[in-house]
Amino acid sequence: VDNIYVPEVFFTNNCLTGENVVKSTRLLGDLDGVFQDKDAFEQMDRDRIIYQVSSFLPVVENTPGGLFMGITLLYPGKVGQEFFMTKGHFHTNSNRAEFYWGVEGEGMLILMDEQRNVWAERMFPGSLHYIPGKVAHRVANIGYQKLVFSACWPSDAGHDYATIAAEGFARSLMDVNGVPTLL
Ligand code: S6P
Ligand code: ZN
């Protein structure tokens, strides 16, 4: 498995074969419509890498009872005053929960329930976050360094990106005079 962000924990588990690891890269251009400041977005390089995900998929997608694990590297930066963040999603099997935990850097986990209530939890190395079912989740990098976090979710959760693409989150995490603030 070349050119992949792999922390020590993966090597000690000796579970990477290269066939069950799926890597994906999200460029700024893939996040069109996600950020509030459209003018700032248009002035930036659409080919800039915003985040990369390596997912370890030991079973076939949709297998009931299995688990997936992923590690996400989210670069620092802002579009206007809004911190770089992941697309965010609900799960297709909406009641499926997920764990996130912070590995490196400083972030905010932004959560939204089906009534569009939004709240956030601070992420830092060692922070652990339980995301209940029916709660959309996205992560913002609020620091000056890369943010690395890991996730574990059921193999039959699935990803519903369409709802967030259509309706967004009800609040955005902005830099207000140096303070990350949900507006
Ligand atoms: C998968 C898990 C993460 C995210 C990754 C990127 O269920 O939540 O691995 O896929 O952090 O975020 P997103 O919203 O683009 O999938
Ligand atoms: Zn998820």
What residue has token string 């994906």?
24
Query: pLDDT value at position 15?
Result: 58
Amino acid at 25: T
Contacts of 2 (CB under 8 A, 6+ apart): none
What residue has token string 């976050």?
129
Q: What is the pLDDT of residues 126-152, one digit of tens each?
A: 999 999 999 999 999 999 999 999 999
Q: Give the ligand 1 atom nearest the CA of 91.
A: 7
Q: Which CATH superfamily is domain 8-182 in?
A: Jelly Rolls (2.60.120.10)
**88 CB within 6 A, ligand 1:** yes
Taking CA atoms only, the protein residue closest to ligand 1 atom 6 is 86
Q: What is the pLDDT of residues 17-52, one digit of tens each?
A: 666 788 899 999 999 999 999 999 999 999 999 999
Mean per-residue pLDDT of the chain? 92
Cα separation, 131 vs 139, in Å, equals 12
Taking CA atoms only, the protein residue closest to ligand 1 atom 15 is 87
**86 CB within 6 A, ligand 1:** yes
Residue 60 phi/psi, 5° resolution? Answer: -70, 140
Looking at the DSSP assignment, which residues form a beta bridge with residue 118? 112
Q: Give the ligand 1 atom nearest the CA of 26.
A: 15
